Amino acid sequence: MRPEPGTLLGGRYELTNRIAVGGMGEVWRGRDTVLEREVAAKIMKDEYLSDQGFLARFRAEARSMGAVSDPGIAGVYDYGEENGSPYLVMEFVPGESLAALLDRGPMSEADTLSIIAQAAQALHAAHMSGVVHRDVKPGNLLITPDFRVKITDFGIARVADQAPLTKTGQVMGTAQYLAPEQATGKGSTPKSDLYSLGIIAYEALAGNRPFTGDSQVEIAIAQVNRQHPPLPETVSEPVRRLVDSLLSKQPEKRPASGAALATAARALMNGDVPAAEAAVPQMLAAGAAAAAASEAVTRVFSQPEDSSTRVMPATQQTRAYQPGSHTGASAVAPYGPDGQLAEDPEAEEDEKKSKAPAVIITILVILLLAGLAWIGWLFFGPKDDEPDPAPTATATPTQKEITIKPSDYIGLSEASATSNLEQLGLKVRSTMVTSNESAGTVVDVREGSNGYTFAPGDTVTIEVSEGPQRQEPTRAPEPTREGEPTRNPQPTQEPEPEPTQPPDDGGDDGGDGGDDGGGNGNGGGNGNGGGNGNGGGNGNGGGKGNGGGSNNGSGPGQNSGRGGN
């Protein structure tokens, strides 16, 4: 099924717009037409529908998220299938990802500690339910407008009472936030999630990640071998020690649990350093350990033990946690009753072997080269989010090209698309264009010189909508006011014609004036017609034509006028 706006899932959830693209599926914003609320729907990609391993992992995500109930974790509402495509309906979280916030620059100590405290508390709830996230990164931490943290995307989480869905030694997670034990394929524990939180804290305070490289393999090797650079001097010393304890290469030197980390972070927010050190005693030794770690120590990678991923007996699964435990450890990994990792006889044996005499240095060098080749195979061989091909003995060479699909990014927010592309090792340039899409939405991805295939470090240009072009509205004509009748035009009053004075041609003209006066009601009498002045008056016409005028221009007047002439 190819989701699109208007698609109805389960006859209930209507999709509106795509908000993200993940490894296994797409995440859409939608509406629950029954409860009238917004939801987020994750739909598996079509190319993975025939792979039973991916189907099992998708269902496992629904179970792992459904097993945890905590305000700091996005809740799961429903699971189903539509036209053969599995979907997961989750709580819709308004706001943006932490990755988008970090793109704008470093954060303050107070904001960083608040995020770490909230995320650690939520992860502790997951750990106590037997779930290890295994992919904690800024893109999976959503920040609401009121600055609450919601953890999402448990797509590769491991549940304590389930058989592992990954192969022994398979690397899971994102290299930039991967714990050393994950990078070497030795499996993950709750403390692996805490290490990832340490990377996030470092990035938020410093404005950059502690470990970088030209490839995922190089970054993973740095996670194992290199000590992180010191945080800026602007970061307070207690906060630096807390971050140093999180980034310890040995899990047992990290905070005991997410709850302990949350307590320490909140104490530092309040300026209570002793309370923070009481919650995380590892802070006391972190400063000295960070100073001593300046010596570069090269470790030889050995093939991961099967014990790191083997399923424990059922009796162990039913007692994943001991009273008073601070780790929230799952039954898959061996933990002691005090919440610390139990001693592994096989690991002790490996440690003894690492102290071999100098005569076998040459062999160790060979093993180191083999280990590097093996890590390359782990990262570029079978992947968690791709169908597992049959394993071969040949290591996969380092990937030199990155091919992207524009459809994976069109419709995403600018921040989400930028974060996804940067995680592939690409740089991103945004160009604003006018579009009918909402402002901030990616509407196109431009081709490079080699189409949509890029080398690591290349720049990809995305076109981002700035919203529809604004048009000046056409002014509507003024409406005729109701209630006021249109006034009828006043008739033009025709002016009364000024009487034309006839030329002085004697009584004959005066007689004519008398004729006019007799014909006109207005001119008769003493006024205009045969009046005393204008008609056959005494001066002009001669004679007394006025006498006839007094009879309103009647016959006698006329006769008198003419007689005057």
Higher pLDDT, 380 or 110: 110
pLDDT at residue 475 in the model: 60
Least confident of 9-13, 142-146, 284-288, 406-410: 284-288
187-235 tens-digit pLDDT: 889 999 999 999 999 999 999 999 998 888 899 999 999 999 999 999 9
- Residue 6 pLDDT greater than 60, yes or no: yes
Residue 504 CB-density burial (10 A; 0-12 exposed, 13-18 middle, 19+ buried): exposed
What span, in angstroms and rounded, lies between the C-alpha atoms of 425 and 392? 27
Q: Which has more pLDDT, 391 or 179?
A: 179
269-275 LR contacts (CB < 8 Å, sep 24+): 269/110, 269/113, 269/114, 269/117, 273/238
Percent of the chain residues past pLDDT 70, beyond the cut: 60
pLDDT in the model for residue 186: 84
Find where tokens 């598996």 sit.
44
pLDDT of residue 439: 83
Angstrom CA distances, 479 to 475, 484, 563, stand at 11, 12, 70
Helix (H) or strand (E) holding 78: strand 76-82
In the block, which residue shows the tokens 């989480």? 157
Query: How far is it, in rounded angstroms, from Cα 514 to Cα 550?
Result: 10
Residue 140: count of CB within 10 angstroms of its CB? 24
pLDDT in tens, 277-334: 999 999 998 766 655 554 544 444 444 444 333 333 333 333 333 333 333 333 333 3
pLDDT band at 481 (very low <50, low <70, confident <90, very high): low
Please tell me the predicted confidence (pLDDT) of residue 289: 60
Of the candidates 135, 153, 384, 516, the residue annotated as catalytic is 135
Strands annotated E in 101-140: 131-132
| Lowest-confidence pick of 15-29, 264-278, 441-455 | 15-29
Residue 51 designated active-site: no
- The amino acid occupying position 331 is A
Comparing 140-154, 172-186, 430-444, 546-560, the range with the smallest average pLDDT is 546-560
Whole-number pLDDT of residue 243: 98
Q: Residue 11 pLDDT > 90, yes or no?
A: yes
Q: What is the pLDDT of residues 396-443, one digit of tens each?
A: 444 568 889 888 888 888 888 888 888 888 899 898 888 888 888 889
DSSP class of residue 20 equals: E
The predicted-structure confidence for 445-466, as pLDDT tens digits, reads as follows 999 988 999 988 899 999 998 8
More confident residue, 470 or 358: 470
pLDDT of residue 558: 43
Q: Which residue has the higher pLDDT, 422 or 111?
A: 111
Strands (E), 12-63: 13-21, 25-32, 37-44
Please name the residue that has the structure tokens 């070497």.
184
In this prediction, residues 152-171 reach a mean pLDDT of 48
pLDDT score of 24: 72
Q: Are strands 141-143 and 149-151 parallel, antiparallel or unpaired?
A: antiparallel
- What are the tens digits of pLDDT across the range 501-538? 555 544 444 344 344 444 444 444 444 444 444 444 44
- pLDDT score recorded for residue 487: 57
What does the mean pLDDT of the chain come to?
73
The larger pLDDT score, comparing residue 183 to residue 319, is at: 183
- Given the DSSP bridges, would you call strands 427-433 and 459-465 parallel, antiparallel or unpaired? parallel
**Cβ atoms of residues 244 and 195 within 8 Å:** no
**At residue 361, does pLDDT exceed 80?**
no
Least confidently predicted of 49-63, 87-101, 167-181, 293-307 = 293-307
Domains of the chain, first to last: 1-92 (3.30.200.20), 95-341+355-380 (1.10.510.10), 403-465 (3.30.10.20), 507-564 (no CATH)
Quick one: pLDDT at residue 411? 84
Confidence of residue 52 (pLDDT cuts 50, 70, 90): confident
Q: DSSP letter for 441, please.
A: B
Q: What is the pLDDT of residue 68?
A: 83
Q: Pick the residue with more confidence: 499 or 160?
A: 499
Sequential DSSP letters for 201-259: HHHHHHSS-S---SSHHHHHHHHHHPPPPPPPTTS-HHHHHHHHHHT-SSGGGS-S-HH
| Calpha distance 154→136 (Å, rounded) | 9
d(CA 220, CA 232): 23
